[in-house]
Structures are given as structure tokens and as C-alpha cells.
Amino acid sequence: MKKLWSDIFDNRINTGIYIFEPEMFKFIPANKFFDFSVDLFPLLMRNRKQVYGYVMDEYWTDIGSTFEYKKGVFDVLDGRIEVNTGIKKKRDKYISSNTEIDKSVKIYGPCFIGSNVVIEKNVIIKPYAVISDNVKISSNVSVEKSIVWDNSKIGSNVKIINTIVGFGTIIPGNITLFDSIVMEEEYS
């Protein structure tokens, strides 16, 4: 009895990372939807081409959704994944030595504060806050369960909860962001 693809069950997942010899591309049609697992791999096997997989036990997550992206970042903060951030971890906080943090600022871990960050008075950095490089946070701001990408500026009296602030985004003062993705496109 011939086995069908639908008969195969496994607890492994294809991470979508492939390494091909240049000759493999002749099997992929131009300008047509062509799924690797459904179309290409069976075609290669029918043509008696060698197909290999690598089974890994290392941490992996699909960061194709905001939920999974944040989960991956927060797993780093929790120590589930060992990542070289270039910043020494003290207890549950990664704080670059190259920062300006007002002495009134309260910081609760786990969290990450990158290089060249300026944090003004009365800011609260709550658990799972990630502040990337070159960010300026004005006074009376609270950041919790959020990721603020490089070169962003946060105005005064802002609350950021469960939000991703994109690269170079300027957040005006006196607002609350909750469960958001905020991106600012810069034109040159």
C-alpha cells in the first residue's frame, strides 16, 4: 500500500529556513504560486533529488505575528533563550552603561534598556519593557510589556502598554497606547 503525505504525522515543524544548491531553482516556476512543502519537495523526490532536514532542539518561534514576536522577545528577558545583547544582565535587567536615566526613574524587570537612551523624570519602566538604542523618553511616562525600537521619541505623560513602537516613531505627549503597533515612515 502506497503511503500518502496525509498519512504522515510528526511533532516537528518546518521552520521555513532552506538552503538550496543553485540547480534547485530550475524546479521552481517563475510568476506562479509554488509552495515548497506541497509542491517543491515532492517534485524533488519524484526526480530522485536528495532532500535533507535538520532536526534541532534549540529554541525556535515563528515571529510572523505580533503575539509570537513579543513572546520571543519576552522569552529572552525571562532567560529562556541565551542571546548576546552586548549588555551585561544585572538580576533581571539589561541596562546599557551608555544611558542617561534620571534618578527618579523606577525600573522593574525583566526589562531591556539599550545604548544612548535618555529617560527623563518620573518615568516607570515596568516588566517586559524593551527600550532599544537612541530612544528618548520624556517625563511622566510608563512603559509596560512593550517594545520601543531604535531612534524613537516618547512625549511627556504617555502610557504605553502591550505595544510595539516602530523604528524612528515620535509619540506625542498626553496619550495612552494599549495593544497597538505604531509605525512612522520617514521620507527622505
Same domain, 152 and 76: yes
Same domain, 21 and 75: no
Same domain, 33 and 89: no
Domain at 174, CATH number: 2.160.10.10
- In the chain, where does DSSP find H-type helix? 41-46, 66-77
Mean of all residue pLDDT scores within the chain: 89
Same domain, 77 and 35: no
* Cell numbers given for 33: 504560486
pLDDT number for residue 25 = 86
pLDDT number for residue 55 = 84
Local confidence band at 187 (pLDDT 50, 70, 90 cut-offs): very low
pLDDT number for residue 9 = 62
For residue 51, tell me if it sits in a domain.
no
Same domain, 12 and 91: no
The domain of 30 spans 5-46
Same domain, 19 and 93: no
Question: pTM for this one?
Answer: 0.77
For residue 12, tell me if it sits in a domain.
yes
For residue 139, tell me if it sits in a domain.
yes
pLDDT number for residue 188 = 41
Same domain, 31 and 73: no
For residue 59, tell me if it sits in a domain.
no
Same domain, 105 and 155: yes
Give 38 or 147, the one with higher predicted confidence: 147
Among 172, 105, 185, 179, smallest CA distance to 147 is for 179
> From CA 127, how far away is CA 125, in angstroms rounded?
7
Among 107, 101, 136, smallest CA distance to 121 is for 101
pLDDT number for residue 53 = 83
**Given the DSSP bridges, would you call strands 164-165 and 147-148 parallel, antiparallel or unpaired?**
parallel
Residue range 99-157, pLDDT digits in tens: 999 999 999 999 999 999 999 999 999 999 999 999 999 999 999 999 999 999 999 99
Same domain, 88 and 173: yes
Same domain, 34 and 77: no
Same domain, 119 and 172: yes
Query: Total domain count for the chain?
Result: 2
Residue range 79-105, pLDDT digits in tens: 998 888 888 889 999 999 999 999 999
